[in-house]
Amino acid sequence: MGDNQDDREGSSGPSGPPAPSMGDVFWIGTACALSVVGGAGLGYLADWLASTTPWLTFVGLAFGIVSAVLLAVHQFRRFV
């Protein structure tokens, strides 16, 4: 129970890649959320400046979502 390395968080088999820890997963989730919110916020700001509501907000949101997906895929590849 106490000495088995496989019971610990972040461990994996003897030859496999490391399993993600709770800190890794939390960081990825936070970065994805910030990407989406940041993209939408920048799009909203651009809309406000250019008076093109809501088109640039949608473009910013799309860029934020794409950024979040790319970030998550890149980070999770370390654990596959």
Any idea where the domains of the chain sit in the sequence?
20-79
* Mean pLDDT on 41-63: 95
For residue 29, CA distances in Å to 22, 50, 53, 71 come to: 10, 32, 29, 10
- What confidence tens digit (pLDDT) does each residue in 26-48 have? 999 999 999 999 999 999 999 99
Could you give the percent of the chain with pLDDT greater than 70?
A: 82
* Helix, strand or coil, per DSSP, at residue 19: coil
Question: Nearest 5 degrees, angle CA 54-CA 55-CA 58?
Answer: 90
Q: Which two tokens stand for residue 70?
A: 């790319």
The whole-angstrom separation of Cα 80 and Cα 13 is 12
pLDDT given for residue 9 in this prediction: 56
